Amino acid sequence: MSTWDDLAAHQASVGQRALAQLFENENRAAEFSARAEGILFDYSKTNIDATARALLIRLAEEAGVARRRDAMFAGAKINETEDRAVLHTALRDLNAKVTVDGADVMPAVREVHARMSAFARDVREGRFAGQGGAITDVVNIGIGGSDLGPAMGAQALAPYADGPRTHFVSNVDPAHIHDVLAPLDPATTLVIVASKTFTTQETMANAAAARDWMAAGVTDPAAQFAAVSTAEDKTAAFGIAPQRVFGFADWVGGRYSMWGPVGLSLMIAIGPERFDDFLAGGRAMDNHFRTAAFVDNLPVLLALVGVWHNQICGYATRAVLPYDQHLARLPAYLQQLEMESNGKRVAMDGTTLPMNSGPVVWGEPGTNGQHAFYQLIHQGTRVVPCEFLLAREGHEPELAPMHRLLAANCLAQSEALMRGRSLDEARAAMARKGLRGDELERQARHRVFPGNRPSTTLLYPRLTPFTLGQIIALYEHRVFVEGVILGINSFDQWGVELGKELAATLVPMLEEGADADTKDASTRMLIDYLRG
């Protein structure tokens, strides 16, 4: 029997037990939680017991997680389908010693970090100004990994933002760039075009629109553009001066890139020192991931809980529920990080995956979600494992009682999901309301909560730049560990290509009325409608 079989057999034998029963072990909370540098991860409100955990750890060991982790940090080409190293970790560890193909990659990383820090200071302190005065607004144009990281980070670290205002444009829907630019003054706006490839259709269309907008307001529009890209020939062709182009190597995947130049807009907003604190948080999580035993290792534990819920229990989705308004974009960020990384149908060797790939990740901040979709989480027929995140304190000391309300709601949800409310309890509640007989019975049934719904809770002291770095690196490594266990390549994204190619064939059909005969009848009908 394989470890997968052992896990399935174990799950079958314990699947029906009440989670609350597990707490008859008075040490359960301590035994099924782990801490790293101020962060507490509690997974005791899941059905994982000592046997399940031991089997899950065996799975990770058999998959070679430690060996593959060390290979990643050392610069080995673990992204095998693209023949690339995976070294986003080097962006946050400027003193690391890393070689790829025998060449030291760190001098270039340090050089770009120093240049972007200097540029961020120049913008913040007015040495780099617009044609109408100091820069008041920075617009980052990018999509996917060239947008979600800095956009999520700028919102997460809003309490630390003391530079120009930051804005993010990603969608090729003209409404996006139109609405963002409309209130801004071109003479005091800096546009950063962030695109690793500098070919992405949406980003190039938005960049061209921004250049036209800028040209209508200043005499030298290109002077207020910067670029974040690996394609220096293309940024030059766009007219952006080389001193304002910040490159990075192909071993940084888009969704792992916010630690380097893609984070430029965030760096300008919070300043290079705080950005370095963010890097330090990521580094601290790297060190933890590299050194802690699996049973104490946060990224490994998050991954093992994920595998248990998704591949073993068959729960197809996972709700990410930050009780932290500043993390409102975290679910969207994680959707790319997790679903683009681990939404794969074949293993590294090309064989069809024998188990489910990564889960559907979704969510919204608490407490808003409580008044929207938690109904289904509590009483729907599908189990949705929930991942709560909460800070011990916010950034508004004068409103501390509200933070306690927030915390109480967060803890109440995980408690309610686990305990539920039995039919007898519901009947008693209805009796207290004065109901009797059939009506009591009918009403009580609607008020039953099945309970036994698993959740985990991640607590952290405060959402500082350092803590955000820890959290993002934690999720990155969780994705990595899950990917290794599934035997897939978490670092390519071929699944996004087909739609891009087909979109290219459709543009002339929509624009110039080109022949649509090659398309299916549904697509032809839709084209006809859109042509008007």
Active-site residue list: 340, 371, 500
CA torsion sign for 455, 460, 463, 467 is negative
Indicate the residue among 79 and 146 with the shorter CB distance to ligand F6P.
146
Told to check if 195 binds ligand F6P by CB under 6 A, we report yes
Query: Which residue in this structure is represented by tokens 């005969």?
Result: 517
Q: Provide, rounded to whole angstroms, the least separation between the CB of residue 412 and ligand F6P.
A: 37
Site for ligand F6P in 337-376 (CB under 6 A): 340
Q: Provide, rounded to whole angstroms, the least separation between the CB of residue 169 and ligand F6P.
A: 13
Indicate the residue among 167 and 255 with the shorter CB distance to ligand F6P.
255
Indicate the residue among 49 and 250 with the shorter CB distance to ligand F6P.
250
**Phi, psi at 523, each rounded to 5°:** -65, -40
Candidates 130, 144, 217, 322: give the one binding ligand F6P (CB under 6 A): 144
Query: Which residue in this structure is represented by tokens 């950063």?
Result: 192
> Are 51 and 3 spatial neighbours (Cβ–Cβ below 8 Å)?
no
For the chain, give me the number of helices (H) and strands (E)?
Answer: 23, 15
Candidates 84, 88, 196, 244: give the one binding ligand F6P (CB under 6 A): 196
Tokens of residue 40, six digits: 């507490």
CA torsion sign for 326, 328, 330, 332 is negative
Question: For 101, left (φ over 0), alpha (ψ -120 to 50), or beta?
Answer: left
Indicate the residue among 229 and 311 with the shorter CB distance to ligand F6P.
229
- 10 Å CB burial of residue 220 (0-12, 13-18, 19+) is exposed
Query: Which residue in this structure is represented by tokens 């490994």?
Result: 300
DSSP 329: T
Indicate the residue among 195 and 265 with the shorter CB distance to ligand F6P.
195
Residue nearest ligand F6P by beta-carbon distance? 254
Q: Provide, rounded to whole angstroms, the least separation between the CB of residue 228 and ligand F6P.
A: 8
Q: Provide, rounded to whole angstroms, the least separation between the CB of residue 246 and ligand F6P.
A: 13
Told to check if 81 binds ligand F6P by CB under 6 A, we report no
> Are 391 and 462 spatial neighbours (Cβ–Cβ below 8 Å)?
yes
Site string for ligand F6P, 284-323 (x = CB under 6 A): ----------------------------------------
CA nearest 203: which of 137, 165, 254, 166? Answer: 254
Indicate the residue among 47 and 200 with the shorter CB distance to ligand F6P.
200
Which one-letter amino acid corresponds to residue 416? A
Q: Please, what is the angle between helix 497-511 and helix 201-215, to 10°?
A: 50
**Phi, psi at 316, each rounded to 5°:** -80, -20
Query: Which residue in this structure is represented by tokens 């001193």?
Result: 243
Told to check if 143 binds ligand F6P by CB under 6 A, we report yes
Told to check if 197 binds ligand F6P by CB under 6 A, we report yes
Q: Provide, rounded to whole angstroms, the least separation between the CB of residue 255 and ligand F6P.
A: 5
Told to check if 146 binds ligand F6P by CB under 6 A, we report yes
Query: Which residue in this structure is represented by tokens 């929930």?
Result: 386
Tokens of residue 136, six digits: 């008041």
Indicate the residue among 245 and 444 with the shorter CB distance to ligand F6P.
245
Told to check if 145 binds ligand F6P by CB under 6 A, we report yes
Tokens of residue 420, six digits: 């539920």
Site string for ligand F6P, 199-218 (x = CB under 6 A): -x--x---------------
- Using CA atoms, how far apart are residues 132 and 153, in angstroms rounded to an integer? 28
Told to check if 69 binds ligand F6P by CB under 6 A, we report no
Told to check if 254 binds ligand F6P by CB under 6 A, we report yes
Q: Provide, rounded to whole angstroms, the least separation between the CB of residue 492 and ligand F6P.
A: 9
Candidates 113, 234, 255, 478: give the one binding ligand F6P (CB under 6 A): 255
By CB under 6 A, which span of 137-145, 215-223, 232-240, 522-530 interacts with ligand F6P? Answer: 137-145
- The footprint of ligand F6P (CB under 6 A) covers 142-146, 195-197, 200, 203, 254-255, 340, 493, 496
